[in-house]
Structure 1
Amino acid sequence: MKLRARALSAALTLTAIVALSAPVFAADKVSLRLPWLLNVQSAGYVMAREKGFYADAGLDVDIMPGGPNLNSTALVASGANTFGTNDVGQILLGDANGMDLVMVAACFQRHPAGVVSMEKSGIKKPADLIGKTLAYTEGGPWTLTKAMLAKAGVSLDKIKLVVSPSDQLLVNGSVDARTDFVINEAVALDLQGHKTSSLLPSDFGISTYAEVIFAARKTVDSNPDLVKRFVAATQKGYDYAYAHKDEAVKTIVGLNNQLDPVQQTKQIELQESFVYTDFSRAKGACAFDGAVIGETEKTLREFGDLKTDVDASKTYSIEFIPAK
């Protein structure tokens, strides 16, 4: 019995020594720069971190807010951040200015930019804007709106245009409609008791993506495994967030107590149809079609600020989306 006990003790000691001497692999530290302040628009990334999907992929992810003076494309291009999110247009413009960014996933299949009006205005289609007053500011919503109107055969000279970022003009009836992001601004107005309706370019033949994940080309080329792990874990985060929307809202409001939980709940419910389409349900969350990138390049060239030549086919890679 003593011999067996000694043998067992020796075996346990050896096991402990082997365990102590086994290599410990540190998680890869990466950062993700959001396009704007933290809210449920970023639910997929937050839940990927909070539920351990990034950790399981060997990643230690710092999710960092964007803002007026924090441009995700410039910060990723400079090496300050590993990954960023933004819409296709901003990334194409960055590449046209020498940033050399690569899109690796697209989590909002439909772009939430469009035209918001009061429901009583009766604006349901592009032609309904004829003779109306439309407020706009330069940027993505206005570019996509111009493309939508052109496709519908509605000339801008048939609409009264006003440059203004104010929702108050819409509320007090000074304008009939304004360009905006329908997943947040329209929800805020609805919660204030103003019933709204929206025109989305994505419903009228103008295709592009939002919440696109991108990295510097040198990151994609030198560490493709890192990119693949990040995209796969993010996909899991998106699926979890939209299967557990109440938990996602609670988590994000806990991280940013300036948010209204009621608004965030309504926003994430609205966002679901932007994230999950027939295409993404078949291919997986954040999957994308390179042809849409090409369409966006043409839209930007005709209606936006893209003046420099850029080869859209070199600005993305679909190889990092997990096979479904």
Structure 2
Amino acid sequence: MTIPSSLRRTLAVVAAAAATAIALSACSGGASAAPTASAGASDGGHLNVQLSWVKNEEFSGEFFADSKGYYKDAGLTVTLTPGPSTGAAELLSGKTDIALSDAVSIGSVVASEGAPLKIIGTTYQKNPFTVLSLKSKGNIATPADLKGKKIGVQDSNTALFKALLAANGLTDKDVTIVPVQYDPAPLLSGDVDGFIAYLTNEAITVKAKGVETTNLPFADNGLPFVAETVTTTDDMIAQHRERLKSFLVAEIKGWTDAVKDPEAGAKLAVENYGKDLKLDPANSIAGPKEQAEKLVVSDETAKNGLFTISDALQKSTIKSLAGAGITLTAKDLFDLSLLEEVYKAHPELVKYAG
């Protein structure tokens, strides 16, 4: 397994963070106080889950699983800890049991450090990352349009953006990377020409301000890979396999509800789980609809169920990583045996659209 030198600095930061990770303050999945037991303790049904982002509508499936008692029915007590985070450091340091992440972030650490991490399923069949720009300024519609542009990139998305560049024959010398946070204000003010965003988040909120935007989706421009991946450690798979399978059952049920009723998922985020964020109701409804229709479901999920990853999608993900110089095999990155066992035991879960 190899990793290009262009990504080593970023990965070294991730590895260092894993070695010296600061203890995280866990937030409860719902309105009740956060559980205090840690995985592996006497509470055999407890799981810490690291979210990739804040508690907004992006995690409506998890909110359904918690609020409707699917976690409880599965014998689990689940702590949902907000990001932003790729989850790699938390997994490697033992601060979390499961992370919702993406194939590039996890694959990078597996390739560079031989990290014992595996993707056991995925929420998004198509990754939502995009280079967002204003039509009146950057108007970045093709990879070639990136040349000479100033691109706002968050620290946690640096490896992803460099992978996009590499997949299109570009390097960070072809652009100016401007460190930013997650607020797209630098894009609106003209400080950057492009901004790394989610199609289901910032791309919606900026457009809602009445400005015309242009998107350069990663998935359509040389970097198709799975995202919001359910990622865990080899040790968790070996030691707590049944607990992980129970979690997958609850997740499938929660995301079945999210696909069927995106507006209800948005309401859970606005009125309960993300209440302190003062989320915009209109934008919060648009996001779940976008993800339910374009990201979570596919021909693969219609045939084999939510969270599944077809052989073709595994191959395209591995090819995307290879295009960025990250050499892995599907076996290095994926372990879908737990999900196969779940659907064998619960074939009724396949019919999420029924």
TM-score by length of 2: 0.71
Q: State whether structure 2 residue 319 is matched by structure 1 residue 318.
A: no
Q: Deviations over 1:59-96 (max 9, x none)?
A: 1212111236xx52222223222211100112122323
TM-score by length of 1: 0.77
Matches of 2:231 and 2:124, distance apart in 1: 14
| Runs of 5+ consecutive residues of structure 2 not aligned to the other structure | 1-42, 345-349
1:281 equivalent in structure 2: 302
Matches of 1:82 and 1:158, distance apart in 2: 37
Matches of 1:224 and 1:131, distance apart in 2: 47
Structure-2 change in CA distance of 1:204 and 1:50 (3 Å): same
1:62 equivalent in structure 2: 79
Matches of 1:190 and 1:55, distance apart in 2: 39
Contact 2:124 2:229 in 1 (8 A): yes
Structure-2 change in CA distance of 1:196 and 1:40 (3 Å): same
Structure-2 change in CA distance of 1:313 and 1:187 (3 Å): same
Query: What's the secondary structure of 1:193's corresponding residue?
Result: coil
Shift of 1:113: 0.9
Decide which moves more: 274-283 or 119-128. 119-128
Query: What's the secondary structure of 2:52's corresponding residue?
Result: coil
Listed as ranges, the matches of 1:1-324 within 5 Å are 28-67=45-84, 72-96=87-111, 97-119=113-135, 123=139, 125-126=141-142, 129=145, 133-137=149-153, 139-147=158-166, 149-150=168-169, 161=176, 163-165=178-180, 167-173=184-190, 176-253=193-270, 254-257=272-275, 258=277, 259-272=279-292, 273-289=294-310, 292-293=313-314, 295-303=316-324, 306=326, 311-321=329-339, 322-323=343-344, 324=350
| Runs of 5+ consecutive residues of structure 1 not aligned to the other structure | 1-25
Shift of 1:261: 1.9
Structure-2 change in CA distance of 1:141 and 1:180 (3 Å): farther
Runs of 4+ in 1 over 6 A off after TM superposition: 156-159
Matches of 1:75 and 1:277, distance apart in 2: 30
**Which structure has the larger Rg over C-alpha atoms?**
1
Matches of 2:220 and 2:165, distance apart in 1: 14
Q: Deviations over 1:204-259 (max 9, x none)?
A: 45320111001111111122222111112101111101212222111122222212
How many residue pairs are counted as aligned between the two chains? 290
Contact 1:92 1:310 in 2 (8 A): yes
Q: Deviations over 1:95-126 (max 9, x none)?
A: 23243112111111111112212245695852
Matches of 2:172 and 2:229, distance apart in 1: 33
Contact 1:143 1:300 in 2 (8 A): no
Query: What's the secondary structure of 2:338's corresponding residue?
Result: coil
Shift of 1:279: 1.8
Contact 1:171 1:194 in 2 (8 A): no
Matches of 2:205 and 2:168, distance apart in 1: 25
Decide which moves more: 168-177 or 43-52. 168-177
Query: What's the secondary structure of 2:118's corresponding residue?
Result: strand
Contact 1:249 1:261 in 2 (8 A): yes
Say what the alpha-carbon RMSD is for the aligned residues. Answer: 3.0
Contact 1:45 1:237 in 2 (8 A): yes
Q: Percent identity?
A: 23
**Could you tell me which amino acid in structure 2 is paired with residue 104 of structure 1?**
I
Structure-2 change in CA distance of 1:140 and 1:283 (3 Å): farther
Matches of 2:162 and 2:200, distance apart in 1: 18
Structure-2 change in CA distance of 1:38 and 1:72 (3 Å): same
**Could you tell me which amino acid in structure 2 is paired with residue 163 of structure 1?**
V
**Could you tell me which amino acid in structure 2 is paired with residue 261 of structure 1?**
P
Contact 1:170 1:176 in 2 (8 A): yes
